[in-house]
Every structure is written in structure tokens, then in C-alpha cells.
Amino acid sequence: MTARALADDLGEPVGLAGAPERVVSLVPSITEAVALSVPGVLAGATDYCIHPAGLDVARVGGSKYPDLDAARATRPDLVLANAEENRPEDVAALRAEGIPVWVTEAAATVPVGLRSMRKLLTGAFGVDPGWLAAAEREWAGPPPRVWATAIVPVWRRPWVLVGRDTFAGDVLGRLGVANAYAGHADRYPRPPLAELTALLEARRADLVALPDEPYPFHPGDGPEAFPGARCAFLDGRLLTWCGPSLVGARAKLLAQLGASSART
């Protein structure tokens, strides 16, 4: 059968003879999206792919350092990867063996991320799940007025923050929360802690948003570095995953941020 003329987000050709039947996902958010949109098609996923609960597939290591032999052993007719989460050399190795790989872009906004998911699901699988349209509706429209300016760490030792052009920053902006490092040259800057506390003391930021992934911030780990600052603990999956978790995420994140309905 002649392969269909498809291309991934990076413009690379993806040769598929038909709808994939054995898929390996190297991205947790994509794993969840595909599992719920095309049930039964996943043959493998990373150790960090814990959604949906009870997913029973072969495990192929981590995203940054997957076990390519384990991935190959599943006999995939498609591997799913992301330009930011996965290494180009792993993608190249799989493609060199004739395994089609679809790479999604590192989306800087919610609409771009959802367009990427729509392209993958409709192009490769021929499905248009209801959650996708629901997420598009929920996150459409202009952002509300800014009611807080946040420092958003995603790691510590060293401190790593959400900077410019990030999905998480766009999600917060669509909730009325400005990112204190949105204008930084780096997407994930690493400023010293003294710089962060100085911003809070100067009232150039008035909130520290602490997601529980990739670093598991919680009330006993994180806020002690910012004495006296207002801290909000966020579900990192709702903040950073582009997929079914976006449906209903708006209200949940606003509640976690401590926003009142008047602010939105």
C-alpha cells in the first residue's frame, strides 16, 4: 500500500500506509490524548505516562533518554515525539530504521498546542475527539485583565523558571496572571534566588506559582525560599499539558491561584 503524504509539525515527512495500529508515545501529554481519542492503539509509552490511570502498555524508559530497544520491541508503526521533550538523535535513530516518527512542536501558546494536536489526531488517526473542540472553546478569546504578576519556578537547585514563549506562561496569561520573566531572553531562565526575592520585595511580582511537576513543589518544599510571599500550588499537568486535561482546567487553576470570579 502506498504511504500517505503526511508531514509533522517540523515539516518532516511521516510515511503511513494507513491509520496506525501500534503506536509508541514518548510524551506523557500526547499519551493521554491518544489513549482517550484512539483507544487501544498505544503499544508503548514512557515510564512517566501515568495518564490515563491504568494504562497497560509496554514501558520504554523516559522521554529524554528512552530505551529505543524497548520501543523497537513493540513493533510500532508510528512513534510520537515532541521537539522540546525528546532528543533529535533518538528521533533520527528510529527514522533511520524505517520507523515513522511524528514530532510535535514546542507550542508557545494554547491555540498553537491545540492546533498541533488536531493536526496529529486528524492527520494520522482520522479522528476529531470531542475534548479537542471543548478545549478550544474553553481557552479561546482575549485574556482577562492582569490581576497578579507571578514568578513561576519549575525546578530548584538550581532555580529554573518559566520564561518567554512557553505554554505554561500562556495558560497563566489567559487566566489574568502575568509572568514576571516573560520578557527574559531564555525560555527557562536560571536566576539566583536573591534576584527573585528582590522582585517580590520591590513588588514587581506579587505571587509565586509553584506547580507540582516537573519539580514536586508542595507546602513543605518551595515557599520557605520566599518568606512572606503569597504562594499558590498548582496542578502541573493542568498548567503544562496540552490535551484532554485542558477541559475544565480553567476553573481548577483559578481556584488554585486563589482568584475570585470578579477577577476574570
| pTM across the whole model | 0.93
Task: Give me the CATH topology for the region 148-258.
Answer: Rossmann fold (3.40.50)
Percent of the chain predicted with pLDDT > 70: 97
Nearest CA to 55 out of 67, 41, 72, 76 is that of: 41
* Phi, psi (degrees; rounded to nearest 5) at 31: -55, -50
pLDDT in tens, 155-178: 999 999 999 999 999 999 999 999
Q: Is the dihedral of CA 221, 166, 100, 129 positive or negative?
A: positive
pLDDT in tens, 53-112: 999 999 999 999 999 999 999 999 999 999 999 999 999 999 999 999 999 999 999 999
pLDDT band, residue 2 (cuts 50/70/90): low
| Domain 4-137, classified CATH 3.40.50.1980, yes or no | yes
pLDDT band, residue 43 (cuts 50/70/90): very high
* Helix H or strand E segment including 26: none
- pLDDT over 70 at 145, yes or no: yes
pLDDT for the residue numbered 5: 78
- pLDDT over 60 at 210, yes or no: yes
- pLDDT over 90 at 17, yes or no: no
Distance of alpha carbon 182 from the chain centroid:
17
**Every domain range in the chain assigned CATH 3.40.50.1980:** 4-137, 148-258
CA angle in degrees (0–180, nearest 5) for 9-190-225: 125
